[in-house]
């Protein structure tokens, strides 16, 4: 009785020979040129016997056998592998579900083996398990076939180990899939072969995949590169290569889940850091090694009135109010020391206004040994406008307190010249009637005038000192300011029986200063000295000049008293706000703290050198430039 037989082989001559032979013996024969065509036929064909070549394009014979064994309507189909390659490799045909295997050789020698396996396919025949490959003795081992099989195995190994999924699609159906792609779709590799590729995608993605598979021959299309597609629980991108020679589409699937997770985490970290920088209260400016601005935070823009784009690329020295040789001075200091602080500096706003800031610059390196490359410079500036306003209020509060201390003594000082004036006027009024009185008149008038001028000078000095005025740096003579201050505290020295000795140096004392603030420092130092010498003593005021190691000139004023000195445990506390050892109600404990702030604002230095019982030396140093 004839059987329905399917012959699958990419050799058209063998297909013709087998068809003639089998039809001549009464069988119904169908043929397919490859595994893909055979799968399409088997969807509607139920053959009794299938002869399958092992090595074919698209779907190979081994995969075809596995797929046939999974088809319920072909469970009784007798599978026969016909291949010459079985000689060059250790082949177990039963492992792929085949029932028999014939080594492909000359067709005349194959005929008997073909007839034998057809007889074995009868349902009532008992199968012979583990039967050797038929006809293997008639086929010679070929070296070239061994090499081709080795290369094919090597290529398959590579495709199985690469991290990308690889799917080969022919006419919309899968003819090859590697294990990576199978894992992405959560399907066994055999479950892909012969099935529509789009069927493995959610409906929401199918239209995009259809469009991807329409890639013209010889071209490459991409999908999901900008925004990856979500495939089950993974994020993936696709590339489709349309291979013109074999009319198939090669789809490469890349799992970018880990990369995108890291990318999102990095983006979140960058946004987090960006938020930190933008919420800083202080100005932050980042410079490139050429000192051009590469980044500014929101506080910088708010403080200066610029937009970020208006500042990008500008040189840092354009931000300063006064001319600053940043490149020559600050930049060199930053490179040399790693960090530079400028407690009193000023930025210029977009409107041209001066904004006082405390400035800090720090070098940023890549920290790779042995050679460290400069990446840039970080500049932080703290807005001092509110601080300066508070400082001025503090200065004025201390000035009022000092004014109260001075007032009683000044009243006494004014009382003396007023008595001279009154006495002179009385003498003039009674003595002008006589010749002797008229002769004394010029001398009396001169004394009255001198007394009036002295009183006037004291009052003017007191008014100038008490007047509230904005800080203003002007060029003035430090010696003149010192002597004006002496006038205001002269009564303190007299009441405390303290003598004053001046030793001015024969040098120029002119420098840039806020006269009123420096006068406040002098008064505070001298009042403290007078109050320290309750039993009398002496204050020596000596001036001089010198140069710092960098060559910059300075002027120095030294106040040396013969008082009891300052105890070592108190010497480190004298500049602390509100610290005082005095019990007078008018004392605030702010005098030296305020004085130190004034001197620092002038970029100067205020030091106390003292020992118990050996007096105190107060050294004030101010820069000329």
| pLDDT at position 453 | 63
Residues of the chain with pLDDT under 50: 143-144, 583, 585-590
CA–CA separation, 73 vs 485, rounded Å? 118
Angle at 311 between CA 310 and CA 317, to 5 degrees: 135
Domains 4-144 and 280-383 equal at CATH topology level:
no
| Closest listed residue to residue 516, CA positions, set 487, 473, 455 | 473
* Strands annotated E in 138-282: 165-170, 173-177, 220-223, 229-231, 234-243, 248-255
- The DSSP code sequence of 120-147 is HTSTTSPP-TTPPPBTGGGS---HHHHH
| pLDDT at position 31 | 95
| pLDDT at position 323 | 67
| pLDDT at position 5 | 94
pTM score of the predicted model: 0.44
| pLDDT at position 144 | 46
Strand 220-223 vs strand 354-365: parallel, antiparallel, or unpaired?
Answer: unpaired
CA–CA separation, 327 vs 291, rounded Å? 8
Q: What is the pLDDT of residues 495-534, one digit of tens each?
A: 788 898 999 988 888 999 888 888 878 888 888 888 888 8
| pLDDT at position 393 | 59
Q: What is the pLDDT of residues 368-426, one digit of tens each?
A: 655 678 888 899 999 888 766 666 656 655 555 555 555 555 555 565 566 556 656 66
The CATH code of the domain at 280-383 is 3.30.450.20
| pLDDT at position 240 | 93
Q: Which CATH number fits domain 4-144: 3.40.50.1820, 3.40.50.12160, 3.40.50.300, 3.40.50.2300?
A: 3.40.50.2300
Q: Where are the domains of the chain?
A: 4-144, 162-259, 280-383, 388-623
Q: How many residues does the chain have?
A: 625
Q: What is the pLDDT of residues 189-211, one digit of tens each?
A: 888 888 899 999 999 999 999 99
Domain 388-623 adopts which CATH fold?
A: Heat Shock Protein 90 (3.30.565)
Question: Is-contact 604 620, C-beta < 8 A?
Answer: yes
Strand 78-83 vs strand 100-103: parallel, antiparallel, or unpaired?
Answer: parallel
The CATH code of the domain at 162-259 is 3.30.450.20
């Amino acid at each position: 009785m004839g059987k329905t037989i399917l012959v699958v082989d990419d050799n058209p001559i063998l297909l013709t020979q087998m068809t003639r032979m089998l039809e001549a013996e009464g069988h119904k024969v169908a043929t397919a040129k490859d595994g893909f065509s055979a799968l399409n036929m088997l969807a509607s064909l139920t053959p009794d016997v299938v002869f399958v070549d092992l090595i074919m394009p698209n779907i190979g014979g081994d995969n075809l056998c596995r797929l046939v064994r999974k088809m319920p309507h072909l469970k009784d189909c007798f599978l026969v592998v016909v291949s010459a390659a079985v000689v060059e490799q250790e082949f177990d045909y039963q492992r792929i579900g085949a029932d028999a295997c014939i080594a492909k050789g000359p067709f005349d020698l194959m005929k008997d083996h073909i007839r034998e396996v057809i007889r074995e396919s009868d349902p009532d025949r008992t199968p012979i398990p583990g039967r050797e490959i038929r006809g293997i003795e008639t086929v010679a081992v070929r070296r070239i076939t061994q090499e081709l099989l080795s290369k094919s195995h090597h290529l398959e190994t590579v495709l199985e180990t690469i991290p990308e999924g690889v799917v080969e699609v022919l006419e919309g159906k899968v003819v090859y899939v590697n294990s990576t792609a199978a894992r992405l779709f959560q399907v066994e590799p055999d479950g892909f072969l012969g099935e529509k590729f789009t069927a493995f995608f959610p409906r929401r993605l199918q239209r995009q995949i259809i469009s991807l598979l329409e890639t013209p021959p010889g071209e490459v299309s991409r999908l999901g590169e900008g925004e990856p597609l979500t495939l089950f629980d993974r994020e993936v991108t696709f590339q489709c290569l349309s291979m013109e020679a074999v009319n198939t589409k090669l789809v490469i699937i890349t799992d970018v889940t880990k990369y995108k997770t890291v990318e999102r985490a990095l983006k979140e970290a960058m946004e987090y850091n960006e938020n930190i920088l933008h919420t800083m209260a202080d100005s932050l400016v980042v410079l490139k090694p050429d000192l051009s601005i590469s980044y500014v935070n929101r506080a910088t823009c708010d403080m200066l009135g610029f937009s970020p784009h208006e500042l990008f690329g500008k040189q840092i020295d354009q931000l300063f109010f006064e001319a600053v040789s940043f490149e020559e001075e600050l930049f060199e200091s930053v490179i040399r020391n790693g960090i530079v602080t400028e407690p009193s500096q000023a930025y210029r706003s977009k409107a041209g206004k001066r904004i006082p800031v405390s400035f800090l610059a720090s070098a940023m390196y890549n920290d790779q040994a042995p050679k460290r490359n400069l990446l840039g410079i970080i500049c932080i500036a703290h807005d001092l406008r509110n601080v300066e306003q508070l400082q001025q209020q503090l200065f004025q509060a201390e000035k009022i307190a000092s004014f109260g201390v001075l007032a009683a003594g000044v009243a006494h000082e004014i009382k003396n010249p007023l008595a001279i004036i009154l006495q002179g006027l009385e003498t003039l009024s009674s003595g002008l009637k006589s010749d002797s009185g008229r002769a004394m008149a010029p001398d009396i008038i001169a004394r009255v005038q001198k007394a009036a001028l002295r009183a006037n000078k004291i009052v003017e000095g007191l008014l100038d000192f008490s007047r509230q005025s904005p800080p203003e740096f002007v060029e003035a003579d430090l010696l003149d300011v010192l002597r004006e201050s002496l006038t205001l505290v002269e009564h303190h020295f007299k009441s405390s029986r303290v003598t004053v000795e001046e030793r001015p140096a024969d040098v120029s004392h002119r420098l840039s200063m806020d006269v009123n603030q420096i006068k406040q420092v002098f008064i505070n130092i001298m009042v403290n000295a007078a109050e320290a010498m309750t039993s009398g003593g002496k204050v020596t005021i000596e001036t001089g000049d010198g140069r710092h190691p960098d060559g910059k000139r300075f002027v120095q004023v030294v106040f040396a008293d013969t008082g009891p000195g300052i105890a070592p445990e108190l010497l480190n506390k004298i500049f602390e706000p509100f610290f005082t050892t005095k019990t007078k109600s008018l004392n605030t404990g702010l005098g030296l703290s305020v004085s130190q702030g004034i001197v620092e604002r002038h970029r100067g230095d205020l030091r106390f050198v003292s020992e118990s019982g050996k007096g105190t030396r107060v050294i004030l140093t101010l820069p000329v430039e």
